[in-house]
Amino acid sequence: MKRYLVQTMGCQMNVHDSRRIEEVLSADGWLPTDEPALAQLIVFNTCSVREKAEHKLMSALGTVRGFKEERRDVVIAVAGCVAQQEGERLLQKARFVDVVIGPDNISELPALIAHAQGGGAPVARTVFDVHAPAFLEATPAPSKLEVTAFVTVMKGCDERCTYCVVPYTRGPERYRSSDAIIHEIRGMVEGGVREVTLLGQTVNSWHEPNADEPADEAPPWSERLARTSQFAALLRRIAVEVPELGRLRYTSPHPRHLTDELIEAHADLDVLARHVHLPVQSGSNRLLKRMLRRYTRELYLERIARLRDAVPGLTLSTDLIVGFPGETDEDFAQTLELVREAGFVAAFAFKYSPRPNTPSLKLEDDVPEAVKAARLQAVFDVVAAQQRPHLESLVGTTQRVLVEGISRTDPKRSTGRTARNEIVHVDGVDLEGAFLDVVIERANEHSLMGRRLSEAPVERPRFPHRLKVVG
């Protein structure tokens, strides 16, 4: 029996790609295992967005090196962004690696493994599939109910944020047709999926692949807000054509594609979550310009104000970089002020990390490590100070919760999320996939505790034979 182990590092796109890797392998007769000792194939699906992530790969490779010396029949493959970035170089750096495979080449994996098993020389395949974009369809595992699922709608990135390696590891933007997207979502919903998250590096720049390129002449960088949104039309089509879908999210949008049309879609579509993760990166116009983000803090704040007018109670989260080259105390103070003004209830904040091939490599990484660390902590403190009262304000209210699974800390409890992305724990098990109305009784640091308003779920899973539902 051929067995494989995939170790995933990095973002949701990698989690998604790992699923495609598993599907490609399973179609080729492979079975999964969690035990390295039982595996004939180990795949590391890697991330290179920050240096730390790349170190993770190197230490993971260190752990299999000895293993590979003892068991020469084991195939070691490196996939994902480090694979794309390093290509052949990785084969030089780690001579026991057999296969290096870029994100666009996943479907070639079985052939490359066969080549390695047949004694072939180590090989790197990292070619972007620009003309015939191979979006691998997801096939939800029939044996396993998945409450939430990701659907890729576009890949690559045409922005050139100066710190970011993604345009070089994921290539140019390519879009999937709305027909294929809807087909996949429909199949997932029929398989029991309740919530879909549309996935793309700049997900809201999506447009129909054979449509004319959207007009995007270059007015001054600070006014480069996109004017039309085919993405908004896609959301409307999904809402109408897959009415059984329980909840729809998307990640990550770029602020300059947060058009009026997209805001109107939020106002109109009940299925859309009332939470948007909208990376801002910095609150200083000087730094936003250096980062080539193509918006100002004023434009960002104006966009989210409109979004909030359209969707009362909407929550926002963001990504932030601290210690970008040249970031002064004053620049950082503006970031903190923006975090307060925007009222983010969650933020992923990162210390700037110089990456290969990126334009900001030319800039000196001049913010001392200690200052980066202090700024990171300051961001977390401000966000925590906002999250806490937000969660406390929900005590005593009733929230609709989509149950995702058993609580990680208490096997007698289930955990789910509200439309605004608050995490809610509730007594009871075997509720995966059910929408419950939950009276919030207590706020923890990052989550809520509640009790079910009634025993019966508000809405049962569409395929109850797949589940045991209590009540």
Q: Which stretch binds ligand 5AD (CB under 6 A): 295-303, 349-357, 448-456, 461-469?
A: 349-357
- Indicate whether 318 belongs to the interface with ligand SF4 (CB under 6 A): no
Stretch that binds ligand SF4, among 100-108, 153-161, 231-239, 372-380 (CB under 6 A): 153-161
Contact of 258 with 342, CB cutoff 8 Å? no
Report the b/e string of 427-463 with b at 16+ CB within 10 A. Answer: ebbebbbbbbbbebeebeeebbbbebeeeebeeebbe
Contact 342, 320 (CB under 8 A): no
Q: Which residues contact 326 (CB under 8 A, 6 or more apart)?
A: 286, 287, 290, 363, 366
Q: How far apart are the first and last CA of the chain?
A: 42
Burial code of 240-268, b = ≥16 C-beta within 10 A, e = fewer?
A: eebeebbbbbbbbbbbbbbbebbbebbee
Minimal distance in Å, beta carbon 162 to ligand SF4?
9
Beta strands in 210-304 (DSSP E): 247-251, 275-277
Q: What is the smallest separation between the CB atom of 226 and ligand SF4, expressed in angstroms? A: 13
Minimal distance in Å, beta carbon 1 to ligand SF4? Answer: 39
Choose which of 64, 161, 258, 272 interacts with ligand SF4 (CB under 6 A).
Answer: 161
For ligand SF4, give the closer residue by CB, 112 or 166.
Answer: 166
Per CB under 6 A, contacts with ligand 5AD among 6-65 are 49-50
Q: Which does 159 bind (CB under 5 to 8 A by kind): ligand 5AD, ligand SF4, none?
A: ligand SF4
Query: Does the protein bind ligand SF4 through residue 201 (CB under 6 A)?
Result: yes
Kindly tell me which residue out of 148, 352, 433, 438 binds ligand 5AD, with binding defined by CB under 6 A: 352
Pick one of 46, 350, 372, 438: the residue that binds ligand 5AD (CB under 6 A): 350
Residue among 304, 181, 293 nearest 234 (CA): 181
Asked if 149 touches ligand 5AD (CB under 6 A), the answer is: no
Q: How far is the CB of 133 from ligand SF4 (least distance, A)?
A: 17
Give the one entry of ligand 5AD, ligand SF4, none that residue 254 binds, where binding means its C-beta sits below a cut-off of 5 to 8 angstroms depending on kind.
ligand SF4
Handedness of CA 337, 342, 344, 349 (dihedral sign): negative
Q: Is 295 in the site for ligand 5AD (CB under 6 A)?
A: no
Tokens of residue 242, six digits: 């897959």
164 binds ligand SF4 (CB under 6 A): yes
> Minimum distance from CB of 11 to ligand SF4 (Å)?
10
Tell me phi and psi for residue 281, to 5 degrees.
75, -45
Q: Are 123 and 79 in contact (CB under 8 A)?
A: no
Shortest distance (Å) from residue 161 CB to ligand SF4: 3
Among 282, 335, 353, 387, indicate the residue that binds ligand 5AD (CB under 6 A).
353
Report how far apart, in Å, the C-alpha atoms of 310 and of each of 269, 305, 318, 385, 454 are.
11, 9, 19, 26, 31
Residue span binding ligand 5AD (CB under 6 A) among the ranges 29-37, 140-148, 150-158, 345-353:
345-353
Backbone angles phi, psi at 442, to 5 degrees: -155, 150
332 lies in the binding site for ligand 5AD (CB under 6 A):
no
Number of residues binding to ligand SF4, judged by CB under 6 A: 9
- In the list ligand SF4, ligand 5AD, none, the entry touching 350 (Cβ below 5 to 8 angstroms by class) is ligand 5AD
Dist. CA 127–CA 461, nearest whole Å: 41
Whole-angstrom Cα distance, residue 284 to residue 222? 13
Nearer residue to ligand SF4 within complex by CB, 167 or 433:
167
**Pair of tokens at residue 184:** 């996949």
| Nearest approach, Cβ of residue 370 and ligand SF4 (Å) | 25
Rounded to 10 deg, the angle between the 230-241 and 260-268 helix axes is 20
Q: Out of ligand SF4, ligand 5AD, none, which partner does residue 325 contact, by CB within 5 to 8 A per kind? A: none
Residues that bind ligand SF4 in the complex, under the rule CB under 6 A: 157, 159, 161, 164, 166-167, 201-202, 254
